[in-house]
């Protein structure tokens, strides 16, 4: 079962710490996701993945850290971006609080690519500074493989699935929060090789797409979303399980 920290009383947390000392800390963002999805897409994804991971591992999931690092989306109204120092300080404070209560393994993961470099740089520092094992679960390549693999089952190409607000993220939210998905007609954005366009993205997503979409949301449906969620949760849970077993055996 998942121990959802923010929904528990302190005595319940105290009791559950007798069962597990592992906590998953999701990080996300508040940023534009095209004309059809809410700013909270990455936060929704982090919430759902965090709970499913915790359910698989019978561990805690902490409240999602957000906003995050979203400078490249600031051309689109509503986006909120934290400075690098601020974001890292918030994650550090989260982890220090958790360690103070007796957590021994802290698995960070992100549903937002803009946070990746920050948590990958910070995790080793926290691991060295705190009386706990702190690590990042999985990597961008593994998550993208889970995403594209799930969408391929439905005949959706990697370019259509997209790296941002495309068919994949749209399908995810269709499954978890359908009332937040607006009409996808005419929302197709940049459909191409995102790796080749990374230089443009670094200058701001608006350099690549007028509507903030990378992919084709019109190809999305809720059935894809459930497969996508399960594959991504399974990938991250497996990565966390392997790392905690390695640490405990060391």
Q: What is the pLDDT of residues 67-78, one digit of tens each?
A: 999 999 999 999
The H helix count followed by the E strand count for the chain is 9, 5
What three-state secondary structure class fits 233? helix
Structure confidence at residue 243 as a pLDDT band (50, 70, 90)? very high
Other CB atoms within 10 A of residue 91 CB: 23
- Distance separating alpha carbons of residues 34 and 209, to the nearest angstrom: 10
Q: Is the pLDDT of residue 195 over 70?
A: no
Q: Which CATH class is domain 3-245?
A: alpha beta
- Which pLDDT score is estimated for 192? 86
Instruction: Give this prediction's pTM.
Output: 0.96
Average pLDDT over residues 30-57: 99
Cβ 237 vs Cβ 53: under 8 Å: yes
- Please, where are the H alpha helices in 101-221? 116-129, 140-152, 158-161, 167-176, 198-202
Tell which residue, 175, 183, 179, has the closest CA to residue 217.
Answer: 183
- Which pLDDT score is estimated for 229? 98
- Which pLDDT score is estimated for 203? 74
């Amino acid at each position: 079962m998942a121990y959802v920290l923010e929904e528990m009383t302190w005595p319940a947390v105290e009791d559950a710490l007798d069962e597990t000392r592992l906590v998953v800390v999701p990080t996300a963002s508040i940023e534009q996701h095209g004309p059809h999805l809410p700013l909270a897409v990455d936060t929704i994804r982090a919430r759902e993945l965090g709970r499913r991971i915790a359910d698989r591992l019978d561990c805690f999931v902490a409240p999602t850290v957000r906003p995050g690092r979203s400078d490249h989306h600031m051309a689109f109204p509503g986006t909120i971006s934290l400075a690098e120092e601020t974001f890292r300080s918030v994650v550090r404070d989260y982890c220090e609080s958790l360690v103070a209560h007796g957590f021994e393994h802290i698995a960070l993961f992100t549903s937002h690519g803009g946070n990746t470099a920050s948590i990958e740089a910070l995790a080793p520092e926290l691991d060295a500074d705190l009386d706990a094992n702190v690590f990042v679960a999985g990597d961008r390549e593994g998550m993208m493989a889970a995403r594209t693999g799930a969408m391929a089952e439905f005949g959706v190409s990697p370019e259509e699935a997209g790296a941002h607000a495309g068919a994949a993220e749209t399908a995810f939210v269709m499954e978890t929060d359908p009332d937040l998905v607006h009409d996808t007609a005419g929302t197709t954005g940049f459909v191409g090789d995102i790796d080749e366009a990374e230089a443009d993205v670094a200058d701001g997503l608006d350099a690549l797409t007028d509507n903030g979409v990378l992919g084709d949301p019109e190809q999305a449906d809720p059935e894809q979303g459930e497969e996508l969620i399960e594959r991504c949760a399974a990938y991250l849970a497996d990565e966390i399980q392997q790392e905690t077993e390695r640490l405990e055996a060391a």
